[in-house]
Amino acid sequence: MTPLSWFRRRGLCRIESRSLGGWWVLEVRGKFAAGTPEKRFLEEVDSLLRSGARRVVIDLTGSHFADDTVASAAPEAYHKARAAGAEMRFVVLPGKAGGYYHMAGLEMTIPTFPKLEGAIEV
């Protein structure tokens, strides 16, 4: 499989937000890399926080490709949320986007869960 066919099949980065059980879930799917995807991710986080969201879950389980951007964008989003008085949690699987996330040791400083249900129920 060529890289171009991989991107055609998996698609570019898509970021969607929805409300679920009193939490706002920000789903990141596809390629999460430096540049436009990172900028859109941080803009979506800012938008949710400006709208008054106080409980936010970032779901990275659908991000099939990520570079080290996830290791810098996640803490930035988390600190923005804490400064705004909001609670933020991340859902990250090992591998995929979780590779850089776990290599950077973010699960030790940021509330991280392997499943969306676990992040919302706690």
Question: pLDDT means per 10 residues in the chain (122 residues)?
Answer: 59 88 92 86 96 95 78 92 96 71 81 91 68
In angstroms, how far is CA 57 from the centroid of its own chain? 8
| Domain extent listing, the chain | 12-121
Closest CA to 79 of 50, 113, 46: 46
Q: Say what the pLDDT of residue 50 is.
A: 96
Closest CA to 95 of 85, 87, 107, 103: 103
Contacts of residue 122, defined as CB under 8 A and 6 or more positions apart, other chains included, come to 89, 113
Q: Say what the pLDDT of residue 51 is.
A: 95
Q: Say what the pLDDT of residue 95 is.
A: 64
Q: Say what the pLDDT of residue 44 is.
A: 96
CATH of 12-121, one of 1.10.1370.30, 3.30.460.10, 3.30.565.10, 3.30.750.24: 3.30.750.24
Q: Say what the pLDDT of residue 91 is.
A: 92
The DSSP line for the chain is --HHHHHHHH-S-EEEEEEETTEEEEEEEEEE-TTHHHHHHHHHHHHHHHTT--EEEEEEEEEEEE-THHHHHHHHHHHHHHHTT-EEEEE--SSTTHHHHHHTTGGGTS-EESSHHHHHH-
